[in-house]
């Protein structure tokens, strides 16, 4: 939902379903954009069929698969999902949008300009100059009232608001009108480097000014919007949300007359594409969980077992690739799959063992095993904080040291006298590996990890857990030795990723709370580096601080980055402006049928 301000529910969704779980909506998505070389970043991994607007036909209907009709379109509410965010991108303003390398760039449909006071100048003041044509669907201009109400709702000062508090809003001191109603001045009580992530999406004051309004489910077509489309039908019972052109839209005229977002379970999507009932369908879960619905056109329906298996997944992918007039778009999603090491359990409480284990993981071998069968390059990750195609990415894995793995394990007291599993004090080095149930990609990863670590004398036993209990009953409870899941990667790593690495701290009663740091290891130094990065207004200095934090995380043996989660999207021939977006999101007004 890039939006990449996550609600707790959305974060848990990504964690539990990270390897092809139950949610497959195309949240965070990347618009088509020209390639620009970025030092330290790989080539963009987005896969979108783009075209000049002049070559896109005017009119028509698109049918787009989503998991379900969202319970709310307010992405800051606990009930928000990836589908909430997808629809919000068509309906609500975001002042900035990420480009193909995750860099926030102003959206000219909403912003004429935006600038912050230079580094070192206090207080920090951000001046937004709004597009003078930008209006809500009742004709009311976007205004300081909308900014003020959203800040009040999300700053965490009033517990009556059920959206929780989001990084950055609590750093705001005042919001005021500038030289005229189209100029908004936001003054911060402390510097906030990732200010571009704020007010995206922006909701009208009518929906956020009072807690009672903010807490209501934002559904249906009776609410103000300010995007290229407006809602014309919102029917949870029929599983359909329909959007049509916004008659007050001031930007490029949307090419499509109407988009039907249809609630379609992953196991039905291949069949619905085959039967021409869908035009755009995220397919990661359909392939990864390998449970296609029976269809006379399906070469895999008869062979697919009830539970996911590599053979069934291969057949499902083959079916997807063979569908007439459908292209399977592939990308590395902005989601970082990692092996998390529980520092509060058993032998892994020893930092020397955690570091040795991290050195033993062959990240390239794991990435190739997980991604190769899906037609994606097996590119290993070398950063805990940035994706491989993100600006500033650097492989910091060398920070874990160059010592021989066997020497590290021997030095930690784990001996291997007979070439089998290592032993210390009469106990074998045997670890559990928590894996999301039903995911073929997770199984491939777990199998490769098990074989890889066995070569160093570390025995690994995969244990599966259902996605609905994966976080609450296992990660949060500390019921694992090693765990496979993903964290989202976004344009604001200093604020968004800090909680995953924050040092666990005791409550007043002495109970240590790990929060979302499921590895349960951290240091004061890492916390300070994140805090300094979040307040550093100089982009180069901020990136240096993030790199230093990543180095310290490697040296801590907290976790091992493995690869970016795969993203597969089926798109009907003739549809342009759609595919696997990765970091950004669709530019809805440009999506259409080729002329």
pLDDT confidence bin for 442, thresholds 50/70/90: very high
Euclidean distance between CA atoms 47 and 284, whole angstroms: 14
Please report the pLDDT score of residue 506 as a whole number.
86
pLDDT confidence bin for 22, thresholds 50/70/90: very low
Please report the pLDDT score of residue 287 as a whole number.
94
Please report the pLDDT score of residue 50 as a whole number.
87
* CATH fold for the domain made of 335-565: Dipeptide-binding Protein; domain 3 (3.10.105)
pLDDT > 80? residue 298: no
Please report the pLDDT score of residue 291 as a whole number.
55
Please report the pLDDT score of residue 45 as a whole number.
59
Mean pLDDT of 579-591: 92
Euclidean distance between CA atoms 591 and 357, whole angstroms: 47
Q: Are 61 and 318 in contact (CB under 8 A)?
A: no
How many beta carbons lie within 10 A of that of residue 33, not counting itself?
18
Q: Are 129 and 110 in contact (CB under 8 A)?
A: no
pLDDT > 60? residue 372: yes
pLDDT > 60? residue 328: yes
Tokens of 340: 């998390």
Rounded (to 5) percent helix, strand, coil in the chain: 30, 20, 50
Euclidean distance between CA atoms 47 and 33, whole angstroms: 11
Q: 15 or 364: which carries more pLDDT confidence?
A: 364
Cβ neighbourhood burial of 101 (10 Å; 0-12, 13-18, 19+): buried
DSSP of 51-97? --GGGB-S--EEEEEESS--S-S-TTSTT--HHHHHHHHHHS--SEE
Q: Is the pTM of this model over 0.85?
A: yes
Lowest-pLDDT choice from 8-17, 123-132, 361-370: 8-17
- Show me where the domains of the chain are located: 335-565
Mean pLDDT of 426-445: 95
577 φ/ψ sector (left φ>0, alpha ψ -120 to 50, else beta) = left
Per-chain mean pLDDT for the chain: 88
Contacts (Cβ under 8 Å, ≥6 apart) of 54? none
pLDDT confidence bin for 28, thresholds 50/70/90: very low
pLDDT tens, residue by residue, 542-557: 999 999 999 999 999 9
Euclidean distance between CA atoms 219 and 26, whole angstroms: 20
The percent of residues above 90 in pLDDT, for the chain, comes to 79
pLDDT confidence bin for 309, thresholds 50/70/90: low
Q: What is the DSSP letter of 19?
A: T
Euclidean distance between CA atoms 111 and 93, whole angstroms: 10
Distances (CA, A) of 232 to 18, 45, 84, 225: 32, 34, 16, 12
pLDDT tens, residue by residue, 503-562: 998 887 878 888 999 999 999 999 999 999 999 999 999 999 999 999 999 999 999 999
Please report the pLDDT score of residue 391 as a whole number.
87
Mean pLDDT of 240-248: 98
Q: Tokens 């207004």 map to which residue?
A: 537
- φ, ψ dihedrals at 513, nearest 5°: -105, 125
Lowest-pLDDT choice from 44-53, 280-289, 537-546: 44-53
Mean pLDDT of 172-176: 98
Q: 100 or 152: which carries more pLDDT confidence?
A: 152
The percent of residues above 70 in pLDDT, for the chain, comes to 89
Euclidean distance between CA atoms 62 and 352, whole angstroms: 55
Euclidean distance between CA atoms 447 and 468, whole angstroms: 23
pLDDT > 50? residue 321: yes
Q: 305 or 104: which carries more pLDDT confidence?
A: 104
pLDDT > 70? residue 569: yes
pLDDT confidence bin for 333, thresholds 50/70/90: very high
pLDDT tens, residue by residue, 379-412: 999 999 999 988 899 999 999 988 899 999 999 9
pLDDT > 70? residue 7: no
pLDDT > 60? residue 42: no
| Alpha helical stretches, state H, 455-523 | 467-469, 493-496, 498-501
Please report the pLDDT score of residue 369 as a whole number.
96
Tokens of 257: 């007359």
Q: Cα 265–271–276 angle (5° rounding)?
A: 110
């Amino acid at each position: 939902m890039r939006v990449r301000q996550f609600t707790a529910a959305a974060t848990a969704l990504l964690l539990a379903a990270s390897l092809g779980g139950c949610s497959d909506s195309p949240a965070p998505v990347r618009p088509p954009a020209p390639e620009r070389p970025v030092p330290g970043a790989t080539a963009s991994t987005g896969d979108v069929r783009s075209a000049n607007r002049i070559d896109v036909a005017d009119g028509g209907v698109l049918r787009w698969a989503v998991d379900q009709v969202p319970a709310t379109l307010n992405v800051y509410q606990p009930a928000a999902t990836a589908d909430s965010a997808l629809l919000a991108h068509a309906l609500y303003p975001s002042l900035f949008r990420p480009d193909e390398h995750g860099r926030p760039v102003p959206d000219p449909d909403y912003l004429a300009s935006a600038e912050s006071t230079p580094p070192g100048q206090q207080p920090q003041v951000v001046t937004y100059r709004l597009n003078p044509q930008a209006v809500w669907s009742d004709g009311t201009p976007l205004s300081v009232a909308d900014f003020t109400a959203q800040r009040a709702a999300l700053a965490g000062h009033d517990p009556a608001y059920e959206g929780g508090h989001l990084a950055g809003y609590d750093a705001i001191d005042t919001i005021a009108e500038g030289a005229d109603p189209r100029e908004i001045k936001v003054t911060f009580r402390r510097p906030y480097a990732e200010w571009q992530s704020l007010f995206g999406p922006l909701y009208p004051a009518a929906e956020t000014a009072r807690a009672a309004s903010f807490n209501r489910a934002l559904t249906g077509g009776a609410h103000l919007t300010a995007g290229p489309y407006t809602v014309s039908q919102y029917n949870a019972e029929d599983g359909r949300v329909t959007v049509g052109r916004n008659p007050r839209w001031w930007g490029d005229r949307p090419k499509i007359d109407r988009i039907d977002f249809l609630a379609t379970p992953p196991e039905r999507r291949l069949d619905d594409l085959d039967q021409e009932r869908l035009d755009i369908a995220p397919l990661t879960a359909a392939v990864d969980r390998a449970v296609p619905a029976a269809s006379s056109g399906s070469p895999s329906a008869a062979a697919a077992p009830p539970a996911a298996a590599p053979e069934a997944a291969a057949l499902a992918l083959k079916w997807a690739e063979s569908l007439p007039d459908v292209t399977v778009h592939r990308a590395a999603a902005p989601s970082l799959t990692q092996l998390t090491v529980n520092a509060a359990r058993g032998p892994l409480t020893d930092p020397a063992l955690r570091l040795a284990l991290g050195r033993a993981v062959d990240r390239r071998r794991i990435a190739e095993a997980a991604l190769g069968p899906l037609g994606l390059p097996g590119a290993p990750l070398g950063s805990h904080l940035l994706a491989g195609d993100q600006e500033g990415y650097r492989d910091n894995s060398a920070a874990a040291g160059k010592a021989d793995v066997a020497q590290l394990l021997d030095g930690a007291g784990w001996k291997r006298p007979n070439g089998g599993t290592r032993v210390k004090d009469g106990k074998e080095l045997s670890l559990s590996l928590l894996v999301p149930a039903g995911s073929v990609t997770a199984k491939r990863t777990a199998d490769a990890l098990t074989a890889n670590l066995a070569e160093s004398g570390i025995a690994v036993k995969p244990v599966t857990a259902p996605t609905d209990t994966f976080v609450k009953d296992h990660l949060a409870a500390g019921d694992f030795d090693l765990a496979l899941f993903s964290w989202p990667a976004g344009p604001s790593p200093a604020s968004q990723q800090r909680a995953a690495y924050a040092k666990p701290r005791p409550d007043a009663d002495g109970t240590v709370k790990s929060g979302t740091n499921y590895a349960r290891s951290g240091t004061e130094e890492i916390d300070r580096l994140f805090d300094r990065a979040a307040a550093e207004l100089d982009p180069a200095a901020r990136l240096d601080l993030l790199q230093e934090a990543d180095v310290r995380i490697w040296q801590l043996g907290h976790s091992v980055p493995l690869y970016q989660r795969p993203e597969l999207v089926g798109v009907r021939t003739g549809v342009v402006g759609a595919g696997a977006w990765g970091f950004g999101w669709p530019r809805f007004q440009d999506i259409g049928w080729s002329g």
